[in-house]
Chains A and B, each alone.
Chain A
Amino acid sequence: MPELSMILAGLGDAFSLQTLAFVLFGVITGQFVGAVPGIGPVMAMAIAIPFTFGFDALAGIGFLVGVNKGGLVGGAIPAVLLNTPGTPDAAATALDGYPLARQGKPLKATKMALFASVTGDTFSDIVLITVSAPLAVLALRMGPVEVLGLMMLAFAVIAGLMGSSLSKGFIAAALGLLCAMVGTDPEHATPRLFFGQYELYDGLPLPAVAIGMLAIAELLNRLARSGGVRAAVTMPERQSAADKRVSWAEYWACRYTIARGALIGTVLGALPGIGSTAAAFMSYASARQASRDPGSFGKGSLHGIAAAESANSSVMGANMIPLLTLGIPGNVSAALIISAFMIHGVQPGPFLFEQQGRLIYGLFGAMIVANAMNLLVGQIGLRLWVRVVSAPESFIFSTALLMCFVGVYLASGGIFGIGVMLAFAVLAFVMNAFGFSVVVFIIAFFLGPRLEISLSQTLALLDGHPLRLLDYPFGLALMALAGATGIYLARRRQFDAPE
C-alpha cells in the first residue's frame, strides 16, 4: 500500500501553481470545446496530447483531465440550447434541457447540468481514489495467465458492446490487433509487416493513429455534411432572477436523483466498454421510473437533467479504475489518457502505484481540483460559452485540422506521422460509415503488444501441456468468463439479427 508521505507529496504537486494553472486551462478549454457541436472533449484531448509533450507529466495529464471534465459540462450547453448535444454523453440531457430552455430558462437548465455533473464527477473520483490502490495490489499478484484471461474478457466485453454487431466488433478488434503487430516482434525482435518503411520499425505511432481516427475522421465526416454556417444561439431577452439560477431547494430536491445517477455512472464506468451515454440514458430511465411525477419528464424536468448529467460525468472517474489498476482503458478518453502517460514515459498498469505513486496521487489531487474549477469556471463562463458556440463550423474545423497536423508532427517527429494520421483517418471514416467501432480498434491497438507478450509467456508456462491451465484457476475462470460473455452478447444480439 502507498506510504502517507508519497500521498501527501503527490497531493502537494497537484496544488503547485503550475499544475493548478494547467488544470484551469484544461477546464476552460474543455468547457469551450464541449460547447461547440462537433468538436467535443475527445477530439480536443486527441489534438492536445502532442502539445503536452513539452509539459511536466502531471501538468500535461492534469490538463487533459481538465479538458475531459470541462468537456462533459460544456457538452450540455448545445444540448440545452440547440437540442444538438456537443457530445454523445449529453444526448439524454437534451430530453429535458431543451424543453426547459424553450420555456425561457436556458441558464437554469445549464446550471442544473453543471451542479449535477460536478456532484457526480466528485463522487466517482472519491470511489476511484478509495478503491484503485487496493485493486492494484490484487492486480500485482496476477501472472501472465491471469493477465491473458483478463484481456480476453476485456476484448469480449468491449467488442460485444460497441458497434452495431458482435461480428463487426470482433473484426474491429482484429484490425486493431493486426495494426499493433506492425513493427518488431516482441519475442524474437524480427521485423514484421513494415513494408520496407523503416519509420515503422517501432510500430505505428499511437498519437498519429489516435488523432487520425478520432479527430480527423470526425472532422471529415462533419465537413462532408456541413453547410459551414450554423444558426446562431439566441438567449431570451428577459429572464427573471429565479429563472437564471438553481436554488439550494431545487438542488436538494434532486439529491436522490443525483445520487442514483452518480452510482449508476460509477458502476458502469468501472466496466470496460460501457460508455457514459449508456449511463446517462439508464440513469434517466431509472429517475423517471422512481419519480412521483413521471409525466413531467421530457417537458423540462430538473430531475431529468440532473439524472443524465450526474451519470455521464461520474463515468469519467470510474473508467480510470481499470486504466490505473490493470492498464486496460475502458473507453476512448481513457485510451487517450494512456497515450499521454506513454508520451511522458509512464506505463499504466498495476506497477503504476509502486513506481509512480507520487504522480498518481498528484493526478487524483488534480482531478478533485478540476471538479472545483469546473464548478467555478462553469458559474462564470456559461453565459460566455453560449456566445462563443455561435462561431461557424468552417472556421472551427479548419483550425482543428491545422492543429492536428502540427500536433502529430510534434508527437511523431515528422511528415511521415502526418501521413499515417491521414491514412488512419480514411480507415476510420470508412469504418464509421459501415458501423465498425473505431473505439474498439483503438483499444485493441493499444492492448495488442501486451496481449502478445502475455500469450507468449502463458504458452511458455504451459510448455505444450494445455492441462497445466488447471494450475491457474483464476486465469482459467477469467477465460471461461470471457467465452461466456461472448456467447451471452452474441445471443443477446441474436447473432447479428438478419435484415
Chain B
Amino acid sequence: MNANRLSGLVFVGFGLLLFTVVIPWQVETVAYGWLKPRTLPRILAVFMVICGAVLAIWPPADRAGRDIRWARAALFAALLVVALALMSRLGFVLVAPVMALAIMLLAGERRPLWLILGAGGMPALIWLVVARLLERPLP
C-alpha cells in the first residue's frame, strides 16, 4: 500500500473517531441557535472522511512519504522536547547552551570556533538582548 492510500485511510479513521468519540466527548450540547457548537466540527469530520476516502481510492502520483530521513528528524524532535522539559525546570540560561551544542554536534559540526559561537555566543547574545536590553522574561 502506498503512502497516499495509507494517509487517506488514516484520515477516514480520524474523521470517524472525531465524529463518534471526540466531538461528543469534548463539545457541549446546546439546544438553541442555528449553528450549534458541534455543527461545524461534525461537518469537518464528515468532510475529512470523504476526502480521505477519495485520497485512498484515487491517490495522486507524487512522492509522498519518500526521501524523508524519519529517524534523524525524530532524533532532533526528541532533543527539542527534552530541552523544553529541562528549560521549564532549569531555565533558558542553563539549558540553551547545551541544547545549541547538542544540535550542532548532531548536525555534524566539529569546528571549535563555530561550536563556541553557537553554544556560547548566541545564547549569551539572546540573553543580553531579551533579558537585559528589552527587559523581557526568558523561559
Residues of A near any B CB (own CB < 8 A): 51, 54, 164-165, 167-168, 170-171, 174-175, 177-178, 181, 185, 187-188, 190-195, 216, 220-221, 223-229, 392-395, 397-399, 401-403, 405-406, 409-410, 415, 418-419, 422, 425-426, 429, 433-436, 452, 455-456, 459-460, 464, 493, 495-499
Complex Cα spacing A141 to B45, Å: 33
Complex Cα spacing A194 to B139, Å: 24
Closest Cβ neighbor of B102 among chain A residues: A398
Contact between chains at A496 and B69 (CB < 8 Å) = no
12 contacts between A and B (CB under 8 A): A164-B64, A165-B62, A171-B51, A187-B35, A187-B37, A224-B68, A395-B109, A398-B99, A398-B100, A402-B126, A434-B3, A435-B62
Task: Say which residue of B30, B60, B84, B107 sits within 8 Å of A223 (CB atoms).
Answer: B107
Contact between chains at A394 and B104 (CB < 8 Å) = yes
Task: Say which residue of A171, A195, A395, A436 sits within 8 Å of B118 (CB atoms).
Answer: A395
Task: Say which residue of A216, A392, A434 sits within 8 Å of B4 (CB atoms).
Answer: A434
Task: Say which residue of A394, A409, A435, A493 sits within 8 Å of B64 (CB atoms).
Answer: A435
A426-B77 contact, Cβ under 8 Å, with A228-B104, A499-B2 = yes
Complex Cα spacing A164 to B4, Å: 11
Does B21 lie at the interface of the complex (its beta carbon under 8 Å from any beta carbon of A)? no
- Specify which chain B residues have a CB less than 8 angstroms from the CB of A194 in the assembled complex: 26
Contact between chains at B123 and A402 (CB < 8 Å) = yes
Task: Say which residue of A170, A419, A435, A452 sits within 8 Å of B40 (CB atoms).
Answer: A452
Does B122 lie at the interface of the complex (its beta carbon under 8 Å from any beta carbon of A)? yes
- Specify which chain B residues have a CB less than 8 angstroms from the CB of A436 in the assembled complex: 7
A459-B136 contact, Cβ under 8 Å, with A220-B73, A406-B130 = no
Task: Say which residue of A221, A228, A406 sits within 8 Å of B109 (CB atoms).
Answer: A228
Main secondary structure of the interface of A (DSSP, over half): helix
Does B17 lie at the interface of the complex (its beta carbon under 8 Å from any beta carbon of A)? no
Does B128 lie at the interface of the complex (its beta carbon under 8 Å from any beta carbon of A)? no
Closest Cβ neighbor of A176 among chain B residues: B44
Contact between chains at A496 and B65 (CB < 8 Å) = no
Residues of B near any A CB (own CB < 8 A): 2-4, 7-8, 11, 18, 22-23, 26-28, 30, 33-37, 40-41, 44-45, 47-48, 51-52, 54-55, 58-65, 68-69, 72-73, 76-77, 80-81, 83-84, 87-88, 92, 96, 99-100, 103-104, 106-109, 111, 114, 117-119, 122-123, 126, 130, 134, 136-139
- Greatest chain A CB density within 10 A among B37, B59, B137, B138 is at B37
- Specify which chain B residues have a CB less than 8 angstroms from the CB of A188 in the assembled complex: 28, 30, 33, 36-37
Complex Cα spacing A486 to B92, Å: 48
Task: Say which residue of A164, A171, A455, A495 sits within 8 Å of B52 (CB atoms).
Answer: A171
- Specify which chain B residues have a CB less than 8 angstroms from the CB of A399 in the assembled complex: 100, 118, 122
- Specify which chain A residues have a CB less than 8 angstroms from the CB of B4 in the assembled complex: 434-435, 499
Contact between chains at B114 and A395 (CB < 8 Å) = yes
Closest Cβ neighbor of B11 among chain A residues: A171
A409-B139 contact, Cβ under 8 Å, with A174-B48, A192-B37 = yes
Contact between chains at B22 and A193 (CB < 8 Å) = yes
- Specify which chain B residues have a CB less than 8 angstroms from the CB of A497 in the assembled complex: 58, 60-61
A470 CB to closest chain B CB, in angstroms? 19
B46 CB to closest chain A CB, in angstroms? 10
- Specify which chain B residues have a CB less than 8 angstroms from the CB of A398 in the assembled complex: 99-100, 103-104, 107, 118-119, 122
Contact between chains at B35 and A455 (CB < 8 Å) = yes
A221-B73 contact, Cβ under 8 Å, with A171-B11, A395-B104, A405-B87 = yes
Closest Cβ neighbor of A185 among chain B residues: B37
B107 CB to closest chain A CB, in angstroms? 4
Contact between chains at B138 and A406 (CB < 8 Å) = yes
A473 CB to closest chain B CB, in angstroms? 22
A496-B139 contact, Cβ under 8 Å, with A188-B36, A223-B107 = no
Complex Cα spacing A497 to B64, Å: 14
- Specify which chain A residues have a CB less than 8 angstroms from the CB of B59 in the assembled complex: 496, 498-499
- Specify which chain B residues have a CB less than 8 angstroms from the CB of A405 in the assembled complex: 83-84, 87, 92, 96, 139
- Specify which chain A residues have a CB less than 8 angstroms from the CB of B96 in the assembled complex: 402, 405
A454 CB to closest chain B CB, in angstroms? 10
- Specify which chain A residues have a CB less than 8 angstroms from the CB of B36 in the assembled complex: 188
Contact between chains at A192 and B27 (CB < 8 Å) = yes
A54-B103 contact, Cβ under 8 Å, with A495-B58, A499-B60 = no
Task: Say which residue of A168, A225, A415 sits within 8 Å of B55 (CB atoms).
Answer: A168
Closest Cβ neighbor of B5 among chain A residues: A499
- Specify which chain A residues have a CB less than 8 angstroms from the CB of B109 in the assembled complex: 228-229, 392, 394-395
Contact between chains at A419 and B84 (CB < 8 Å) = yes
Task: Say which residue of B44, B103, B118 sits within 8 Å of A174 (CB atoms).
Answer: B44
